[in-house]
Amino acid sequence: MKLASLLVVPLMLAVPTIAFEQSAIQTLRVATTAAGAYHSKFPQALSEGPEAAISNINSATARAADEAKAAMTGLTVQSQSNKGQCHQLAGALKGYFDAMTTLSHDATNPAVFCSKNIDRLGPSMGWNLRLVRYGIEPYAATLKRDCKDGEKLVAGLAGGYKIVVDSLEQAQAMLESPQGKCKQ
Domain count for the chain: 1
Position 9 in a domain: no
Position 23 in a domain: yes
Across 112-117, average pLDDT:
56
Across 153-161, average pLDDT:
62
Position 68 in a domain: yes
Select the more confidently predicted residue: 157 or 78.
157
Give the whole-angstrom CA distance, residue 67 versus residue 176. 19
Position 30 in a domain: yes
Assess contact for 117 and 142: CB atoms under 8 A: yes
The band of 36, judged by pLDDT with boundaries at 50, 70 and 90, is confident
Containing structural domain, residue 79? 17-176
Position 6 in a domain: no
Q: What is the pLDDT, as a whole number, of residue 101?
A: 72
Give the whole-angstrom CA distance, residue 132 versus residue 130. 5
Give the whole-angstrom CA distance, residue 118 versus residue 116. 5
Instruction: Please give the full DSSP string across 34-75, using - where no structure is assigned.
Output: HHHHHHHHHHHHHHT-HHHHHHHHHHHHHHHHHHHHHHHHHH
What value does the mean pLDDT of the chain take?
A: 60
pLDDT at 27 over 50: yes
Within 8 A by CB and 6+ apart from 103, the residues are: 35, 38, 39, 42, 60, 64, 161
The pTM is what? Answer: 0.51
pLDDT in tens, 43-74: 666 666 656 666 666 676 667 667 666 666 66
Position 3 in a domain: no
Position 5 in a domain: no
pLDDT at 134 over 60: no
Position 64 in a domain: yes
Helix H segments across the chain?
Answer: 2-47, 50-77, 83-107, 110-119, 125-134, 140-176
For residue 153, the SS3 value is helix
Within 8 A by CB and 6+ apart from 25, the residues are: 85, 88, 89, 92
